[in-house]
Amino acid sequence: MAASAPLLLAMLLFFCLPYNLIATGFSVELIHRDSPKSPFYNISSESEGISDRLSRAIQQSNSRVEYFVNSSSAATLIKGVSSSVRPGHGNYLMAIYLGTPPVEILAVVDTGSDLI
């Protein structure tokens, strides 16, 4: 009987954990900046060709590289952790719902910064 106690405990945990994980889950919807769901969406971009979108993506990428080149040479060491918040237009947005009833908040997903 003593050997079955750990088995019963393992079975109890096995059947209880998935319910708790589902009840307290976390999910987000990623929205590309060129999607009609994005607040950055430009309706006139529907007539853009793939070359126009590619040119814009290259320009954004070059701007990001320029930022990293300029910021790495001017970096200074400080005690503690510090980060500045800069407005910008990322490529992906994340829809977050907070509160009861849920209120949608769109946040930029930072896929290319130097923050760790």
Q: What CA–CA distance (Å, rounded) separates 88 from 53?
A: 18
Backbone angles phi, psi at 104, to 5 degrees: -80, 135
Q: For residue 14, is it within any domain?
A: no
Task: List C-alpha distances in Å: 110 to 92, 93, 116.
Answer: 8, 9, 11
Number of domains in the chain: 1
Provide the residue-wise pLDDT of the chain in tens; the chain has 116 residues: 555 666 656 665 556 555 544 555 667 777 777 778 888 777 776 677 778 878 887 887 788 778 777 765 555 554 554 444 455 556 677 777 777 787 777 777 766 655 54
pTM: 0.39
Residue 31 is part of which domain span? Answer: 26-109
Q: For residue 76, is it within any domain?
A: yes
Q: For residue 4, is it within any domain?
A: no
